[in-house]
Homo-oligomer: A and B are copies of this chain.
Amino acid sequence: MFENLVENIQGYKKPLAFGIARVDFGQVNRDKVLQATYPIINWNENFGSAAVFIRSLFENDIEVDFNSSEFVADVTKEFVETALDLFGKDLVEEAEGDKHKNIQVLKILKEIFDDEVMDNYRICFLFEDEAPQSVEAVYLKLYALSQRKVPLRSLNLNGAFGILTNCAWVGNVPIELDYLRENEIELKLKDAYPEVEYVDKFPRFLSHVIPDDNTRILDTAKVRMGAQLAAGTTVMPGASYINFNAGTEGPVMVEGRISSSAVVKEGADVGGGASILGVLSGTNGNPITIGRNTLLGANSVTGIPLGDGCIVDAGIAVLEGTKIWISEDEFNKIKEVNPEWSAEYKEYFKGLELAGLNGVHYRFDTTKGKMVAFRSRREVKLNEELH
């Protein structure tokens, strides 16, 4: 239906992703974008809406560069009106509830612009998943991860840290540190110094994403924007933390740390204070996946990927170089549940040699002073009631 819209637009191609965002500008650098808030993002979908948006830009003399990996333009009142016209009265009327969310965005913008013309709305297209060039593109990718439009570790976020500005965050609002510096005396004396809740380049997950009904995050500080939480995940407020580009793929109890690049699967339990190392903090660049129904005991440290049904006992560290003793009998049992594992038996294995195996119980034998591994006897079940 929308294809004729783009027939005469040179070089047109379907975007990988797009969305309209409200942006926050700097208080000192008033044209610097500090944050982009997307009411809805489109990822490999809704190409008709994309065509309308691109046509509307075209009709308002904005030329989209389809050869670059991303494109950002201001959203003007004219753009909004053109786009609403192109969608047509019927669709615009239907756009409510779960229907036609991109049109709903336009309707609200029309309402806003009818009241006052604003310059803090942007439309962003990604044509390729290359290193992001703009704040809008970084946020579009963080949304894609956090709204589970794409798998963890699947996007190119190279250089994102260089694009984002380190800000003082007051509620959902980023404030430039220079603004605080320049106004410190007045703000403090007049009792108007803001309550700074954190200082970071990234916002928090809960400032942008609505979790599922059965997902709990007991402290907003614990989950960075760009993290991904499957439905049924609970993040407790003790020592836990989920970094961007890390998270869960099923219901998981999280009381420990899921470092950037780490992924935890359905039914696993990250015990209180447990640490899953990230690619640049001890794993030599190997991202860690924790398998289904695997239990990481309280204050354990895991530096290798683990398969399904594993147990790491409380308080122990299983790292790439950790030497682990296995009896021949248990070695054979472990092989049974890991048919593709081709290792020959030996007494001691390094952690890295056991990477990804299913059904292994890691324990420190407090009588012999040895780290040992054996076939885990039980599937670990997550208890819903207690937490």
Residues of A within 8 A of B (CB): 22, 37-40, 97, 101, 104-105, 108-109, 112, 121, 161, 166, 168, 171-172, 177, 180-182, 184-186, 188-191, 193, 195-201, 206-207, 210-222, 224, 236-241, 243, 255, 257, 259-260, 269, 271-273, 275, 277-282, 297-301, 303, 313-317, 319, 322-325, 348, 364-371, 383-387
Contacts and interface: CB of A to CB of B under 8 A. Distances in A.
Contacts of A177: 210-213
B241 A241 contact: no
Given A168-B206, A195-B207, A241 B238 contact: yes
Most B CB contacts (10 A, CB to CB) among A168, A220, A282 go to: A220
A108 to B, nearest CB: 5
A119 to B, nearest CB: 14
Most B CB contacts (10 A, CB to CB) among A105, A189, A213 go to: A189
Contacts of A323: 365-367
Contacts of A322: 366
A22 B190 CA distance: 8
A268 to B, nearest CB: 14
Contacts of A172: 193, 195
Given A200-B217, A348-B367, A369-B369, 5 more contacts: A38-B188, A199-B206, A219-B221, A315-B315, A316-B317
Contacts of A212: 177
Given A190-B112, A370-B366, A218 B216 contact: no
Contacts of A243: 387
Contact of A313 (B38, B197, B317, B370): B317
Nearest to A159: B385
B298 A277 contact: yes
Contacts of A255: 257
Contact of A317 (B189, B216, B315): B315
A221 to B, nearest CB: 4
B213 A200 contact: no
Contact of A301 (B104, B297, B369): B297
Contacts of A109: 189
Contacts of A40: 184-185
Most B CB contacts (10 A, CB to CB) among A37, A279, A385 go to: A385
B237 A238 contact: no
A299 B297 contact: no
